[in-house]
Chain A
Amino acid sequence: MDWGLILNNTLAWVFMPETIAYAIATLGLAVHFGYGGLLNFGQAGFMALGAYGYAISVLTFGFPWWGGLLVGVVAAVVFALILGLPTLRLRADYLAIATIAAAEVVRLLFQSTIFDDYTNSADGLGGYHESFRSANPFPPGTYGFGPWTWSATDLWVRVFGLILLGLALLVVWLVMRSPWGRVVRGIREDEDAVRALGKNVFAYKMQVLVLGGVLGALGGFVVALPSAVVPAYYLPSLTFFLWTILLLGGAATIFGPVLGSLLYWLIMAFLANVLPALASTGMIPGLNNPSQAGNLRYILVGVALILIVAFRPQGILGNKKEMTFNAR
């Protein structure tokens, strides 16, 4: 086994666009669940809207890249309103059911042949990069070192992704330490108590749903930046990867999603490199097909999610004191 190569391939994921994208989208989940107490199991739907909003606007309507980004954000806002209006007055569980179904509806609409002219159905969309790349401030060349060696395009994608992540962190941090955030956390604890104090609980929950959803869309946009938009990417399993990241890092924390995403992708990349190597040397009993071995990691993700929930529900960055009260 070439450990140097494995290490190199793993560390490359520290600045991978997907790592950044998952951090942003998971921050959205933290806003929903960690702060607002809203159970959103459809974050993949918001991400799909961000990605498709961008790609379709650019490809079909000739929007500049930033116009496409805005379209994705607006689509997420509209989606949040449609989801929230009927469900936010009901108990939290109903939102959970509605989100998982609605996200699937979104994905299936993009995948179906009805809108083939716009979505290219199951094959997805590509080749929308020109506008974004032409805005690249970095002159052509090679940047960075070691595992982090990038072309100018790669660098631009990562830098822009990090700018979005930084802005998202700043906004969530500012707003959660404000009186607005206090009301939102109060609603997480007991809606009726907050209502009795004269706060429009429904409006706050709607704002929370929109904010977290927009972050999901931004995450989808960053996923789409370097590659293509394929409907099969936005399966419910994507949402559950985000939940794993959220619970790993800590649900009601600002940097939990960043740390969680980093750890998640480093572990996934490590396993993706190590498991096939182990399998080909016959070290995993019953598994000698390297590609099968790569899939083993998704099983491990599921097991990890269960273990986190059982043994460290507050996540790595979560407040232990807070959780001792929650585990009553």
Chain B
Amino acid sequence: MPANQPRIKSTGLHVGEIRPGVPKVDPIIVADNVTRSFGGLKAVDVEHLEIPRGAITALIGPNGAGKTTLFNLLTGFDKPDTGTWEFDGKNLAGIPAFKVSQLGQVRTFQLTKSLALLTVLENMKLGAKNQAGEKFWNGLIPALWRKQEEEIEEKALALLERFKLDTKKDDYAASLSGGQRKLLEMARALMSDPTLVMLDEPMAGVNPALTQSLLDHILGLKDSGMTVLFVEHDMAMVRHIADWVVVMAEGRIVAEGPPDEVMKDLAVIDAYLGSHLDTDLGVVTGRIDVIHEDHLVDDIVEEALQTEAGSTTRPGDDIQEEKVQP
């Protein structure tokens, strides 16, 4: 694995004192009073949230915290009970999911959605935007779309190579392994050159060796101006690439801040790390073997005592169980 050289993180993303819901200098997503209940359960209850533009933001929290539900709400796949939210200054309330995607906010799913009986290459091509041949009457006349199709294919092949799927391009997506499908879905989302890509546990089930290369790819995307929001349980990975971390528990934003600081926040420890204060979850999962002993238990506890308690306790044991590699 290549040396884990610390990259220069984006800093100065927020305005004023760091706290849940802190305003950002240049937010790409702004959500206000977004709530969503399932029966009696308030799955999402976000008072105020801003996602910084041009940075990599991690959304973390225990199982059932409402991360995926929040993703669904922000992307138009689900409707909130209350609230407003905007993307790139555009109010997204009532905008259907496909339009949200066309606006440049593209997501992937936690439960992978590969198109099983399309080939890997077809899956990729489907991701490209503004295809002339996707209109019925144009479809009848190949001359109208053949050239664009070639360009799309070229781009798809380059991405597939990056994601180590190039040898599979003519296979049905159904024949891919679970991890490969995750990769395909992520690569497919990138076909549209999104302004904001929202990845729901992109690395779950992906081989650690490949993870490293993909993390580099994500960092590259950031360098080229894209904003990334991702859900992840692996703390080492979060610390490695995230510029900003948002912590959810029981539907609410309980903490946010730069990764190193958030890790010290009591709310995170309560909500997420549970009884594993002394263990880096990266070690537990074995996904990333490079660990910085950058915070000691004593530090955490000390910091924790100084911070206001903002959430209820939840055991974090389930997190590592889910992440044990087969």
Q: Is the CB of B139 within 8 A of A197?
A: no
Q: Which residues of B contact A (CB under 8 A)?
A: 75, 77, 96-99, 101-102, 106-109, 113-118, 122-123, 125-127, 129, 131-136, 138-140, 142, 145, 149, 172, 174-175, 185, 188-189, 191-192
Q: Is the CB of A195 within 8 A of B115?
A: no
**Leading 10 A-B pairs by shortest Cβ distance:** A178-B139, A180-B139, A179-B133, A198-B101, A193-B113, A325-B174, A189-B115, A198-B102, A179-B134, A175-B139
Q: State whether the Cβ of A159 lies closer than 8 Å to any Cβ in chain B.
A: no
Contacts of B77 in A (CB 8 A): 192, 195-196
Of the candidates B117, B175, B192, the one having the most CB atoms from chain A within 10 angstroms of its own CB is B117
Q: Is the CB of A180 within 8 A of B118?
A: no
In whole Å, how far is B258's beta carbon from the nearest beta carbon of chain A? 30
Q: Is the CB of A189 within 8 A of B97?
A: no
How many Å lie between the Cα of A195 and that of B106 in the bound state?
10
Q: Is the CB of A178 within 8 A of B140?
A: yes
Q: Is the CB of A179 within 8 A of B115?
A: no
Contacts of B118 in A (CB 8 A): 182, 185-186, 189
Indicate which residue in B96, B101, B122, B145 contacts A197 across the interface (CB closer than 8 Å).
B101
Chain A interface mostly helix, strand, loop or mixed?
helix
Q: Which residues of A contact B (CB under 8 A)?
A: 171, 174-175, 178-183, 185-186, 188-190, 192-201, 207, 211, 321-322, 325-326
A187, closest chain B residue (CB): B115
Indicate which residue in B106, B109, B133, B136 contacts A198 across the interface (CB closer than 8 Å).
B106
Q: Is the CB of A199 within 8 A of B98?
A: yes
Contacts of B133 in A (CB 8 A): 178-180
How many Å lie between the Cα of A183 and that of B115 in the bound state?
10
A175, closest chain B residue (CB): B139
Indicate which residue in A179, A325, A326 contacts B145 across the interface (CB closer than 8 Å).
A179
How many Å lie between the Cα of A182 and that of B125 in the bound state?
9
How many Å lie between the Cα of A188 and that of B134 in the bound state?
16
Contacts of B142 in A (CB 8 A): 174, 178
Contacts of B117 in A (CB 8 A): 185, 188-189, 322, 325-326
How many Å lie between the Cα of A64 and that of B41 in the bound state?
65
How many Å lie between the Cα of A264 and that of B181 in the bound state?
40
In whole Å, how far is B100's beta carbon from the nearest beta carbon of chain A? 8
| Apart from A178-B138, A179-B145, 12 more pairs, CB < 8 Å | A178-B134, A179-B133, A179-B134, A180-B134, A185-B117, A193-B109, A196-B101, A196-B106, A197-B101, A198-B102, A199-B126, A200-B96
How many Å lie between the Cα of A196 and that of B76 in the bound state?
9
Contacts of A182 in B (CB 8 A): 118, 122, 125-126, 134
Q: Is the CB of A179 within 8 A of B139?
A: yes
Indicate which residue in A181, A189, A196 contacts B107 across the interface (CB closer than 8 Å).
A196
Q: Is the CB of B172 within 8 A of A198?
A: no
Q: Is the CB of A179 within 8 A of B109?
A: no
Indicate which residue in A174, A198, A321 contacts B98 across the interface (CB closer than 8 Å).
A198
A196-B108, A197-B192, A325-B174 known; A180 vs B98 contact (CB < 8 Å): no
- 17 pairs from A and B in contact (CB 8 Å cutoff): A178-B142, A179-B133, A180-B138, A180-B139, A182-B118, A183-B126, A183-B134, A189-B118, A193-B185, A196-B107, A197-B106, A197-B188, A198-B98, A198-B99, A198-B102, A199-B134, A201-B98
